[in-house]
Amino acid sequence: MIRVTAWNEFRHEKVNEKVRAIYPDGIHHTIAAHLQQAGFAARTATLDEPDHGLSEAVLAETDVLTWWGHMAHHEVRDDIVERVFQRLMYGMGLIVLHSAHYSKIFRRLMGTTCNLKWREAAERERIWVIEPGHPIAEGLGDYFEIPHAEMYGERFDIPAPDTLVFISWFEGGEVFRSGCCYQRGRGRVFYFRPGHETFPIYHQPEVQRVIANAVRWAAPHTIAPTPVVNAKEPLEKIGK
Amino acid sequence: MIRVTAWNEFRHEKVNEKVRAIYPDGIHHTIAAHLQQAGFAARTATLDEPDHGLSEAVLAETDVLTWWGHMAHHEVRDDIVERVFQRLMYGMGLIVLHSAHYSKIFRRLMGTTCNLKWREAAERERIWVIEPGHPIAEGLGDYFEIPHAEMYGERFDIPAPDTLVFISWFEGGEVFRSGCCYQRGRGRVFYFRPGHETFPIYHQPEVQRVIANAVRWAAPHTIAPTPVVNAKEPLEKIGK
Amino acid sequence: MIRVTAWNEFRHEKVNEKVRAIYPDGIHHTIAAHLQQAGFAARTATLDEPDHGLSEAVLAETDVLTWWGHMAHHEVRDDIVERVFQRLMYGMGLIVLHSAHYSKIFRRLMGTTCNLKWREAAERERIWVIEPGHPIAEGLGDYFEIPHAEMYGERFDIPAPDTLVFISWFEGGEVFRSGCCYQRGRGRVFYFRPGHETFPIYHQPEVQRVIANAVRWAAPHTIAPTPVVNAKEPLEKIGK
Amino acid sequence: MIRVTAWNEFRHEKVNEKVRAIYPDGIHHTIAAHLQQAGFAARTATLDEPDHGLSEAVLAETDVLTWWGHMAHHEVRDDIVERVFQRLMYGMGLIVLHSAHYSKIFRRLMGTTCNLKWREAAERERIWVIEPGHPIAEGLGDYFEIPHAEMYGERFDIPAPDTLVFISWFEGGEVFRSGCCYQRGRGRVFYFRPGHETFPIYHQPEVQRVIANAVRWAAPHTIAPTPVVNAKEPLEKIGK
């Protein structure tokens, strides 16, 4: 059984009634509950727990980590980011959600600014499936819609994804690469755009479906490092 | 005219007679001299100059930066790495040479460990051209050889390159992705494997040819940022 | 000087007054005239000429071929398609325009159906620049608009492009990968979406700019084959 | 249970005693038998059966097709190639083995010549794992060896793979991209280099392991077309 840890900075839900109305126990609980129903072993972790809930022990039991953050990216400790990074290099999967495009861990993995255009206007988003044969698109039709979304627009300053699964159309006139697959080290990374905290997006079945598909895709077959090796003894004779 | 700055940590040449015999004025001088002959405006910069020779003014006049380092990666100041990174996001090109796979700037751009296998056994390397139509392969045949090389072997822990131009064969039994193209931000990055300090590799015409081709490929058409933009005013009416 | 041949099936212009009003001498003449002004050596070729205007001699003098077709794809002779294919494998560039997504040569190069969604409703298209650092995006801003366009929508059944330069937003609700770069053999291929025959799209400066940029990007450094080779004599001794 | 059809032209085994000694019932039987043991529903099909054993009914029950051919590529009927192609566009997976790089179906899917260098000298091949985190590399170490192999060398004239999983080192001095993943239509394609008919390569556990991994990776989640659609009715109002 794939073991998932759903991480959330869990701040908006405490300070904003509108957010609390949608996610009473926090976004992490909504995500973890759905993943449990989908057949995964899901736990949660949040910013204000010791080590942000991401001890070595927790990560050692995590196959895939989902990450939601927005207002407190800078409060995430650098040594914990490094710990997540190392685990990912060994094979752990990472699902990066919405505003976590600006999290320390995602920017570290991308090697770019991760800048983008944005607008809060509760506009319609239509997410088009670009690679219908990809496992992350399993069960979807040609597209699905988010009735009210925060807009993210191109140029999104990321490396070109290894596979681009979704492109969003926005009512206000922009487009966005909304589902982006990356291999980094032995780990797999999926960036998924939807998820603004003031809309009930993580209660939407298509969004839940994509997250479950992405967890399955990102789960590692092995957790092992790729070390520096002084290969002193050649495999073949040299200088014959 | 494309403006190049050839950066070198310039330490091996000071402490190791064998290196000094090959590069009396430093690797940077050999590279810059060849680039001048090839029609570029080339200057040099080294670790022990103020700001490592990479002031804002120097970077503002640099279209493409070449980088060689090995024993002193950790002495490169983080704020200078950040300055190079920002300039690259704006469009500057970067040619990363040999042991600079482990430089701060390359690891920052890759988002991986950049680990690899290695061996010093003065063995033969044969660099095969995988994409003969690519501008960086201009003027080369099916392959070229380096008579005595330090070996770098796979698994090289990098993101899959946007374009893989060269693969090396080593006498001792390994292979390596030796010519790797990346787009990062608006800047272009080329990793080129050859160049150990105890061999006269940067005097070899094929190696010089590749570096010149890579500089031409990496030169930007524009130097401009991709900022975060609050696109408050939609381009289309919302909520009709 | 880069030598371009602008190919056009040149039928709509003969049978449809509306098209003739926009392109009195044919789409090929508009494209070739603009490329000449941009500093290229441009000639034209059309379907109803002997060998469709694409003799061995013409192709031997062509660095980059631009291709527009729509109603008569099936009339293009298979042996001429093969001739263009072979020349492309050797290094010639190919710019595939709009409805030529369904041409024999493009489908042959893609190895997929090249199917898509489409609609003729004279709607607005906004073409977003996804890779501003790419040479094909030189001189463009964040986006440009086509006031009245035929819509092409995803899923566009192509292999994922090596580089995705543009994504289109359509007024009617769709998105499309509008600028797609491919390396095939030693040749470079660029698919560019705009160009319906009943709108004056090839008179628009941004469109002309992109085509000129693409021609420059696709021009080969060498015209040479990659043959099958019986490498009977090994480079290294076997069985030591 | 994933349904595999192992296709073989099955000619070498009939005319060459040396091959028959290694594969008494044909290469297809060896492959199918191993896949059955690995938990797949595997059947076989060969060139000299009616419709080459690939009727519409057989393909309709095939999730993944494996393909071995060498001396009789030209005898494969074009309409059967078209049938396989259509099924692949709908989602069927395809594993292309060794000399099938020159099969009609692979060349059709690649859109290139698929030319390469080759040599029969019974030399050692060492297959390096370039992407250890990829599902096709599951269960492998850093590399595995084939004691006696026919050499295939670069330049291999294929489109750059979506993911490059293996690179081969050859005793005689060449390298080769030996494990190449492609998405084409809704189907997944894996090219795997090893498998010359005069060596017992398909009896080797690492090779069997890779083929089983590849079948699992290439199995579709849905079999459905991506048609041309006249999307006459826009999703959003036009011309407001």
pLDDT, tens only, A70-91: 999 999 999 999 999 999 999 9
Closest chain C C-alpha to B191 CA, distance in angstroms:
18
* DSSP H helix total and E strand total for chain D: 7, 10
Give residue A239's pLDDT band: very low, low, confident or very high (50, 70, 90): confident
Residue D193 near residue D211 (C-beta atoms within 8 A): no
Helix or strand (DSSP H, E) at D59: helix D56-60
Residue A191 phi/psi, 5-degree rounding, is -95, 130
Q: Is the pLDDT of residue A125 over 90?
A: yes
- Which residues of chain B does A169 touch, with a Cβ-Cβ cutoff of 8 Å? none
- Segment C44-93, tens digit of pLDDT: 999 999 999 999 999 999 999 999 999 999 999 999 999 999 999 999 99
> Crossing angle for the helix pair C27-37 and C205-218, nearest 10 degrees?
70
Residue C180 near residue C191 (C-beta atoms within 8 A): yes
Percent pLDDT > 90 in chain D is 98
Contacting residues for A95 by C-beta, under 8 A, at least 6 apart: A64, A65, A66, A67, A189, A190, A192, A211, A214, A215, A218
Percent pLDDT > 70 in chain A is 100
CA atoms within 13 A on the CB side of A100: 26
- Residue A92, number of CB atoms within 10 A of its CB: 27
Contacting residues for B131 by C-beta, under 8 A, at least 6 apart: B137, B163, B164, B165, C183, D160
Q: Is the CB of residue C230 less than 8 Å away from at least one CB of chain B? A: no
Residue C151 near residue C172 (C-beta atoms within 8 A): yes
DSSP lists the bridge partners of residue B170 as: B125
SS3 C124: strand
Classify residue C201 by burial, with Cβ atoms within 10 Å: 0-12, 13-18, 19+: buried
Closest chain C C-alpha to D200 CA, distance in angstroms:
19
> Could you tell me which chain B residue has the CA closest to the CA of C163?
B162
**pLDDT of the residue at C208:** 98
Average pLDDT over residues D196-214: 97
- How far is residue A216 CA from its own chain's centroid? 13
Contacting residues for B79 by C-beta, under 8 A, at least 6 apart: none
- Which residues of chain D does C117 touch, with a Cβ-Cβ cutoff of 8 Å? 228-231
- How far is residue B80 CA from its own chain's centroid? 17
Closest chain C C-alpha to A156 CA, distance in angstroms:
7
Average pLDDT over residues B49-57: 98
* DSSP H helix total and E strand total for chain A: 7, 10
- Residue D170, number of CB atoms within 10 A of its CB: 28
Closest chain D C-alpha to C187 CA, distance in angstroms:
10
- Segment B8-46, tens digit of pLDDT: 999 999 999 999 999 999 999 999 999 999 999 999 999
Alpha-carbon distance B94 to D232, whole Å? 48
Percent pLDDT > 70 in chain D is 100
Contacting residues for B130 by C-beta, under 8 A, at least 6 apart: B164, B165, B166, B167, B179, D154, D155, D177
Map chain B to HEC letters: CCEEEEEECCCHHHHCHHHHHHCCCCHHHHHHHHHHHCCCEEEEEECCCHHHHCCHHHHHCCCEEEEECCCCHHHCCHHHHHHHHHHHHHCCEEEEEHHHHHCHHHHHHHCCCCCCEEEEEEEEEEEEECCCCCHHHCCCCCEEEEEEEEEEECCCCCCCCCEEEEEEEECCCCEEEEEEEEEECCEEEEEECCCCCCCCHHHCHHHHHHHHHHHHHHCCCCCCCCCCEECCCCCCCCCC
Average pLDDT over residues A50-64: 98
Closest of D19, A206, A164 to residue D10, by C-alpha: D19
- Segment C186-238, tens digit of pLDDT: 999 999 999 999 999 999 999 999 999 999 999 999 999 899 899 999 999 99
- How far is residue A148 CA from its own chain's centroid? 21
DSSP lists the bridge partners of residue D152 as: D118
Residue D72 near residue D9 (C-beta atoms within 8 A): yes
Looking up tokens 């570290």 gives A108
Closest of A118, A100, A178, A180 to residue A143, by C-alpha: A178
**pLDDT of the residue at B212:** 98
DSSP lists the bridge partners of residue C163 as: C181
Asked if A132 lies within 8 A of D162 by C-beta distance, the reply is no
Suggest the residue from A221, A226, A230, A238 to mutate for an interface test with chain D (most D CBs closer than 10 A). Answer: A221
Q: Is the pLDDT of residue D240 over 90?
A: no
- Segment B104-150, tens digit of pLDDT: 999 999 999 999 999 999 999 999 999 999 999 999 999 999 999 99
Looking up tokens 């939609």 gives B234
Average pLDDT over residues D109-137: 97
State chain D's maximal CA–CA distance in angstroms.
76
SS3 D148: strand
DSSP code of D134? Answer: S
Asked if A131 lies within 8 A of C160 by C-beta distance, the reply is yes
Amino acid at the residue B141? G
Q: Is the CB of residue C128 less than 8 Å away from at least one CB of chain A? A: yes
DSSP code of C10? Answer: -
Helix or strand (DSSP H, E) at C181: strand C175-184
- Which residues of chain A does B147 touch, with a Cβ-Cβ cutoff of 8 Å? none
Residue C63 near residue C92 (C-beta atoms within 8 A): yes
Asked if D231 lies within 8 A of C117 by C-beta distance, the reply is yes
Asked if C169 lies within 8 A of A167 by C-beta distance, the reply is no
**pLDDT of the residue at A240:** 65
> Could you tell me which chain D residue has the CA closest to the CA of B237?
D240
Q: Is the CB of residue D228 less than 8 Å away from at least one CB of chain C? A: yes
For chain C, the helix, strand and coil percentages under 3-state DSSP, each to the nearest 5: 30, 30, 40
Residue C183 phi/psi, 5-degree rounding, is -100, 125
- Segment B72-81, tens digit of pLDDT: 999 999 999 9
Alpha-carbon distance D110 to C205, whole Å? 35
Residue D198 near residue B185 (C-beta atoms within 8 A): no
Q: Give ∠ CA C37-C39-C41 in degrees, rounded to 5.
A: 100
**pLDDT of the residue at D67:** 98
Percent pLDDT > 90 in chain A is 98
SS3 A202: helix
Q: Is the CB of residue C227 less than 8 Å away from at least one CB of chain D? A: yes
Asked if C175 lies within 8 A of A128 by C-beta distance, the reply is yes
Pick D175's closest partner by Cβ from B128, B160, B240: B128
Residue D125 near residue D118 (C-beta atoms within 8 A): no
SS3 D95: strand
Alpha-carbon distance A97 to D78, whole Å? 47
| Structure tokens that stand for D87 in this block | 């099924």
Alpha-carbon distance B176 to B152, whole Å? 6
DSSP lists the bridge partners of residue A125 as: A146, A170
Give residue D29's pLDDT band: very low, low, confident or very high (50, 70, 90): very high
> Crossing angle for the helix pair D205-218 and D27-37, nearest 10 degrees?
70
Find residues 62-121 of chain B whose CB sits inside 8 Å of chain A: 89, 108-113, 115-119, 121
Alpha-carbon distance B27 to A56, whole Å? 43
Q: Is the pLDDT of residue A159 over 90?
A: yes
Suggest the residue from A123, A146, A155 to mutate for an interface test with chain C (most C CBs closer than 10 A). Answer: A155
Alpha-carbon distance A90 to A187, whole Å? 6
| Structure tokens that stand for A188 in this block | 């797999």
Closest of B173, B175, B179, B205 to residue B194, by C-alpha: B179
Asked if C132 lies within 8 A of B222 by C-beta distance, the reply is yes
Q: What is the mean pLDDT of chain D?
A: 97
Residue D151 near residue D172 (C-beta atoms within 8 A): yes
Q: Is the pLDDT of residue B173 over 80?
A: yes
Task: Kindly give the residue spans of alpha helices, DSSP state H, lying in chain C.
Answer: 12-15, 17-22, 27-37, 56-60, 78-90, 104-110, 205-218
DSSP string, D99-122: GGGGSHHHHHHH-S----EEEEEE
Asked if C163 lies within 8 A of A167 by C-beta distance, the reply is no
Q: Is the pLDDT of residue C240 over 80?
A: no
Residue D15 near residue D71 (C-beta atoms within 8 A): no
What is chain A's alpha carbon radius of gyration, rounded to the nearest angstrom? 19
- Which residues of chain C does B172 touch, with a Cβ-Cβ cutoff of 8 Å? none
Q: Chains that contact D by 3+ CB pairs under 8 Å?
A: A, B, C
Assembly ipTM: 0.96
**pLDDT of the residue at B239:** 85
